[in-house]
Amino acid sequence: MEFFHQVLPHWIPQVFAYVTQLGNAGLFFVLGALLYWTSDDREKYGFLLAATLGALSLTLALKGFFALARPPETYHVVNASGYGFPSGHALGSTVFWVLLALTFDRGSRATRLAVAGVIVALICLTRLVLGVHFTVDVIAGVGIGLVYLAVLIGGFKRRPRPAFALAVLWAFAALCIVVLMPPVTAALAETDLVDAVTALGGTVGALIAWESVGPPDGTVSRSTAVVGLFSLGVLSYIGLQASLPLAAIFAINAVVQGVIVAYPKIVGRRGIRA
């Protein structure tokens, strides 16, 4: 980090502050939802959603368990709070972008994987340039993400149901870790608790929706997809930003992820098909 701060022009970190959004969870769910809603093979993109939820929940559990600090704030170019190991951007982007490359069916597989590798490497680099992670944080994030993918693909054969169930397990583990191993500061304890409840609500809602509707038939029109994303975005923002009771946070996130899974069935029943 010291090396980057010494040799890079001052504007590079500012650009990387935007590039790092390629590893943002919100982007994963927007792209994942659009692919899931508009694809004829909803099973494989349902697996992508489940794997992404699991990766984010696993990150929370590991961060709480290891409780390793980020670099000093003097290095931070952007705001970053909570524990640093492993890097959530590195772990989540590895699972999402690599699995997307394996799932997408355009172009050659080697080209898709190469593009995914470049994106993941770039995201990891941004976390170092922005001063919010140590090198070991991003290396561990990529490694854990690859192992998690291998377990999901090799053990679950790309089936969404067990992948959603495992995501619930990781979210519950994250909540238990926060309760049994609370952070040293009250502010961090509250943030971690909200994050764990958010993850648990989202994973439970997605699993229930999948069990209820399965891979629904039909596709969603572009206009209906925009309406759905906007509505869920507003609801998700309320759940993340408003000072609400934990039960309300759980419920809101359960509804958001549940509706993402069930949306094609919902709009189909209303006759709003592409």
b/e per residue 43-72 (b: at least 16 CB within 10 A): ebbbbbbbbbbbbbbbbbbbbbeebeebbe
Structure tokens at 248: 């309300």
Nearest to 244 by CA among 178, 184, 204, 194: 194
Q: What is the pLDDT of residue 257?
A: 93
Q: What is the pLDDT of residue 272?
A: 44
Helix (H) or strand (E) holding 64: helix 42-66
Q: What is the pLDDT of residue 98?
A: 95
d(CA 259, CA 254) in angstroms, rounded, equals: 8
Q: What is the pLDDT of residue 101?
A: 93
> How far is residue 108 CA from its own chain's centroid?
26
> Structural domain of residue 159, as residue ranges?
2-269
Residue 190 belongs to a domain: yes
Structure tokens at 6: 């010494």
d(CA 38, CA 80) in angstroms, rounded, equals: 34
Residue 274 belongs to a domain: no
Q: What is the pLDDT of residue 109?
A: 86
Nearest to 146 by CA among 124, 175, 161: 124
Are residues 239 and 252 in contact, defined by beta-carbon separation less than 8 angstroms? Answer: yes
| Total domains, the chain | 1
In residues, how long is the chain? Answer: 274
| 202 Cβ contact list (under 8 Å, min separation 6) | 53, 171, 253, 254, 256, 257
Q: Mind listing the pLDDT tens digit of every residue in the chain (274 residues)? A: 677 776 777 777 788 889 999 999 889 999 999 999 888 788 889 999 999 999 999 999 999 899 888 888 777 777 877 888 999 999 999 999 999 999 888 878 899 999 999 999 999 999 988 888 899 999 999 999 999 999 999 888 888 999 999 999 999 999 999 888 776 666 667 788 888 999 999 999 999 999 988 766 667 888 888 888 899 989 888 877 767 888 989 999 999 999 999 888 888 644 444 4
Of the CA atoms within 13 Å of residue 138, those in its CB half-sphere come to 23
Q: What is the pLDDT of residue 274?
A: 41
> How far is residue 168 CA from its own chain's centroid?
14
Residue 237 belongs to a domain: yes
The pTM (predicted TM-score) of the whole model is 0.88
Q: What is the pLDDT of residue 187?
A: 61
Classify residue 3 by burial, with Cβ atoms within 10 Å: 0-12, 13-18, 19+.
exposed
Classify residue 183 by burial, with Cβ atoms within 10 Å: 0-12, 13-18, 19+.
middle
Residue 220 belongs to a domain: yes
Q: What is the pLDDT of residue 171?
A: 95
* Residue 2 to residues 10, 41, 130, 132, 245, Cα–Cα distance (Å): 13, 47, 11, 12, 41
Residue 251 belongs to a domain: yes
